[in-house]
Amino acid sequence: MNTDQNHSQSPAPTAAPRAPRPLQLRCADGRLLNACWYEPDAAAGPVRAVAVVSPAMAVASPFYRGFAEWLSRRGYAVLSYDYRGIGANLQGPLRREGAGLRDWARLDMAAALRAADKRRQLEQREQGHAIGLLAIGHSFGGNAVGLAPGFEQVDALLGVAAQAADWRFWAGLQRAKAALFFHALLPGLSHAFGHAPAWLLGARAEGLPKLAALDWARWGRRKGYMFTDPALAGELGYHRFTGPVHLWNVSDDSLFGPGPAVDHLGKQFSSARVARHTLDPKALGLRAIGHFGMFRRELGERIWPLLLAPIEQASPLLRARLAQR
């Protein structure tokens, strides 16, 4: 796997984005999730690709709005959603939400991917040619994708600070902090409050349902993270994906996405064309980016072209259609 920081930045079209179009996703267990489409401007021509953005742990989808609007200006129809118990899909008190991380992946993420694929098929019928489907995952949204049934239907995967969050992949003081987090703070406070409080999880996070928090703590204590959990042995589908997988870490993200943890995730895609990239804030003239900075609207025009250019070039359908803009 190669690490590359130098990618050309192509300017994004400047047409104003359309207001997001709401929809509901129906999960396999019958639960409905609120979601929305970010559509390209109608005057710019037909949809050239479809993307689905899967959020990080306990991060609500509005955090990704600037990124989704930017993608829509590139010709993508972008599906954005929240996991159950988060953001627009919090139904009642958080302590009563019974969702675990397996539910987020196998039910919620799977429903979003089905809806994105359905939209892709609709566009193909109307336009008379194939178009690409890109799955983009931030942190948990990238590391859990191989648990979602049918994820192989996408053409390419882009993981942003997605990792195998085994505390052993951290170094120095951060390693001790990660061990304390997964062994004591996360499970202890989740039992005490009936959920993981938002202040424990980071400035961009919301509270986390108790079962989801306990899943995260259990996987974080395991050597190899979820990938060695015997309860998931028949559900891990990472090895079945054969398309391009591009995984990014940020050199100053020691909190949630250190490079070795991202590398270990890459190893799970054993049949895919995996490329590893590292973003250095100093190379962009920035003091810091961190785990969440790659989706900050004010940094977007400097960062998002770097993230998208390699994966678009690696996927024939994305490359062919987006080149028409």
Residue 322, pLDDT score:
66
Given a cut of 90, whether residue 5 has pLDDT beyond it is no
pLDDT at 17: 60
* Ranges assigned E (strand) in 165-259: 195-196, 208-209, 244-250
Nearest to 158 by CA among 316, 304, 320: 304
What pLDDT is attached to residue 40? Answer: 94
* Cα separation of the two ends of the chain: 30
Summarised one tens digit per residue, pLDDT across range 165-204 is 999 999 999 999 999 999 999 999 999 999 999 999 988 8
Tens of pLDDT, residue by residue over 59-118, are: 999 999 999 999 999 999 999 999 999 999 999 999 999 999 999 999 999 999 999 999
User: pTM for the full model?
Assistant: 0.93
Structure tokens at 317: 């359908």
CATH architecture of the domain 21-170+233-322 equals 3-Layer(aba) Sandwich (3.40)
Instruction: Please provide residue 248's backbone torsions phi and psi, each rounded to the nearest 5 degrees.
Output: -115, 140
Q: If pLDDT is split at 50, 70 and 90, which confidence band does 325 have?
A: low
Answer yes or no: are the C-beta atoms of 139 and 57 closer than 8 Å: yes
How large a percentage of the chain has pLDDT more than 70? Answer: 93
Residue-wise pLDDT for 41-65, tens only, equals 888 789 999 999 999 999 999 999 9
**What pLDDT, in 10s, does the model give residues 60-76?**
999 999 999 999 999 99
